[in-house]
Amino acid sequence: MDISSLYLSDQTAKIRSKPIPWDGYQRASLITSSELSLIKKFDRQPRAKQLQVFAHEEGVYAELFCTLLGKLVRVDTVQAVLVGMGDMLAESPERFNLFLSLSEKNQDLPFGPLVKALSLPDEYIQLRAAQLLTVLISASKTPTPAATLKPLLNLLSSLLTGSSLNSKDIALQSLSLLLASAPVRQLVWSLEDSPAPVLSPLIKIIKSSASSPQMLYQTGFCLWEVTFDREVSEGIDRKLSILPPLLHALQSSPKEKVLRVIIATLRNLITLAPTINLPAMLAAKILPALVSLQGRKWGDDEVVEDLGICVDALKERAEGLSTWDEYTSELESGHLTWSPPHESEQFWKENAVRLNERDGELLKTLVNLLLNSSDALVLAVACADVGQYVKHCERGKKLVNALGAKTRVMELMTHENPDVRYRALMSVQKLISIS
């Protein structure tokens, strides 16, 4: 299978050794006598014997495992069925099509029973069902219905936000297989505003200093895959502020494979949505990091090519920017830093009123950052900008008050970050003193 896990293999071995009272389940009418007869042919048999049984009647056993999985709910029985199904699939990849062809007789097979298993309250069942469901979906040549994908993606979201590293590993491997499909990438993007987003947890993993190089690589690979979708590339930084964590990974990870997928992701963002992402990358200071990496010796020529494309595009964009363009690009990107325009009195004398153009579009963008950002640096710079704006724009105080900026700046005077508190205090003084 394409999803490997020592943890899951160890758990599988333990479950395989446990006796299951199948006779009792038959007497309780949980399984039929014919099903019991088939089970006894392989249950508790040596591995070689089991494989012979499966090979002799593989179509019968594929249907048996799906049928049992669809009607059993006891944890021990469901675990045993998943082990048997996994053993069959692991023996021969050709059996993927055998399981998939069951849909010709029953549209609910083979996915329905596995989707049902995802909701059972047992870690092994959830992980094993997710593994098997993923590899079957990946092997299918027909589009998978959203009704099948959504429960799986919901579980992966939960695993990615949980504390278990083993579960995260399996979730990332599953997601990387699923995201090879364009419809899955579109579905994942549509779920970002749902209670179980998939991409947001990936950003948190990239940000976390506790993430191992392998986990960073797996996460970066998933982000690289999803950014092949144009809509995702156009919106992912605005929605999830992906660039700062990618920059952090570029600057902090020594592993070439991690850097390779991060740079490839940046190339996707530039190639598919340059108008949106080039200004945002310049504001996030991606260019100096990439230029620095060009001096490194790489073992993969594709990395050199990706780096060159990214650096050339960013340099060309930077050369064409005026100071005002630089400021507006930074503002629209949401990645405010202490770049020269923010602290230049002359800049604000010349440009403050330009925030009122197009019905105050840029002013509204600035105030929205002030109202909604949780980043201390962004808040500090936004407070300073509001203060400069009201100082140099005659109608500034009235306009920012109407947008709720004054109330928010006053709230930020008690922020936990000392620089935010200071900048908010300076801004409030201007808001009060300017008539």
Say what the pLDDT of residue 83 is.
Answer: 94
Tokens (6 digits) for 356: 């009122």
Q: Among all chains, which residue has been given the structure tokens 């949780």?
A: 374
Contact between 172 and 222 under an 8 Å Cβ cutoff? The reply is yes
Task: Residue 392: name the closest of 340, 356, 339 by CA.
Answer: 356
Kindly report, residue by residue over 143-184, the tens digit of the pLDDT.
999 999 999 999 999 999 999 999 999 999 999 999 999 999
Kindly report, residue by residue over 288-343, the tens digit of the pLDDT.
999 999 989 998 899 999 999 999 999 998 887 788 888 888 888 888 888 888 88
Positive/negative CA dihedral, 221, 179, 203, 216: negative
Alpha-carbon distance of 42 to 26, in angstroms, equals 16
Say what the pLDDT of residue 274 is.
Answer: 93
**What single DSSP character describes residue 413?**
G
Alpha-carbon distance of 76 to 219, in angstroms, equals 33
Q: What is the mean pLDDT of residues 406-414?
A: 93
- CATH (residue range 143-320): 1.25.10.10
Kindly report, residue by residue over 66-105, the tens digit of the pLDDT.
999 999 999 999 999 999 999 999 888 788 999 999 999 9
Kindly report, residue by residue over 249-296, the tens digit of the pLDDT.
999 988 999 999 999 999 999 999 998 899 889 888 899 999 999 989
Say what the pLDDT of residue 306 is.
Answer: 96
Q: What three-state secondary structure class fits 67?
A: helix
Alpha-carbon distance of 120 to 414, in angstroms, equals 46
Kindly report, residue by residue over 11-54, the tens digit of the pLDDT.
999 998 899 999 999 999 999 999 999 999 988 888 888 888 88
Alpha-carbon distance of 423 to 330, in angstroms, equals 19
Kindly report, residue by residue over 197-238, the tens digit of the pLDDT.
999 999 999 988 889 999 999 999 999 999 999 999 999 998
Say what the pLDDT of residue 44 is.
Answer: 83
**Dihedral class, residue 74 (left if φ above 0, else alpha if ψ from -120 to 50, else beta):** beta
> Residue ranges of the domains in the chain?
1-142, 143-320, 339-433
Say what the pLDDT of residue 1 is.
Answer: 56
Q: Among all chains, which residue has been given the structure tokens 């069942």?
A: 125
Q: Among all chains, which residue has been given the structure tokens 């333990």?
A: 14
- CATH (residue range 339-433): 1.25.40.150
Positive/negative CA dihedral, 343, 348, 353, 358: negative
Alpha-carbon distance of 66 to 43, in angstroms, equals 16
Say what the pLDDT of residue 93 is.
Answer: 79
Contact between 203 and 160 under an 8 Å Cβ cutoff? The reply is no
